[in-house]
Amino acid sequence: MSPRLSLADLAPEAYKSFVAVEGFLARSGVPHSTIELLKLRVSQINGCAFCVDMHSRDLRKNGESDERLWSAAVWREAACYTPAERAAFALAEEATRLADRVAVPDEVWQEAAEHYDDEQLATLVVAIAMINAWNRLAVTTRQVPAGA
C-alpha cells in the first residue's frame, strides 16, 4: 500500500505550521520522553501504524527501554512509569477518547495538575491535540510506516 498523497507537498503552508508546533513542543518545559510517550500511546489508541512506528523508533533512538515502549498500551498495569507520566497518560487518553464522554474528568485534570504547572499542562494539551491531528492526517492519507 502506498500513501494517497503528500500533505507536505500539496499543503506546505499547513504542514509547516504543524511542524512549527512540534518545534514549540520540543522546546517546552515538559520532558521530551513524556511528550513522545504520549504520542506513542495516543497513536496506539487511534490505530495509526505510521505514528506508532515513528514514535517507537524515536523513543528507542533516544534511549527508552523496550519495557517502556512495549508497556505504553498497558501503562496502568506497568510499574515502569513515574506518577507524572501516569498522570500525563491518563490526561492523553481522556482527551483522545472524547466520543466516549462529555469532558475530561476533573479528577484526571487534578492528578495531572499535581505533577505539572499551568504552562506544562498547556503544553500537554497542545501535544495531545497535535498527535491526534497527526494521526488523522496519517491514517487518512495512508502513510506507510518506515518498517513496512
The answer, as to whether pTM is greater than 0.75, is yes
Task: State how far the Cα of 139 lies from the Cα of 109, in Å rounded to an integer.
Answer: 28
Q: Give the chain's mean pLDDT.
A: 95
Domain extent, residue 26, equals: 7-140
CATH number at residue 102: 1.20.1290.10
pLDDT digits (tens, 9 = 90+) for 35-86: 999 999 999 999 999 999 999 999 999 999 999 999 999 999 999 999 999 9
Q: What is the mean pLDDT of residues 11-34?
A: 96
Domain count, the chain: 1
Q: Is residue 148 in a domain?
A: no
User: Cell 506513542 identifies what position?
Assistant: 40
Q: Is residue 2 in a domain?
A: no
Q: Is residue 40 in a domain?
A: yes
Residue 148: per-residue pLDDT: 60
Q: Is residue 146 in a domain?
A: no
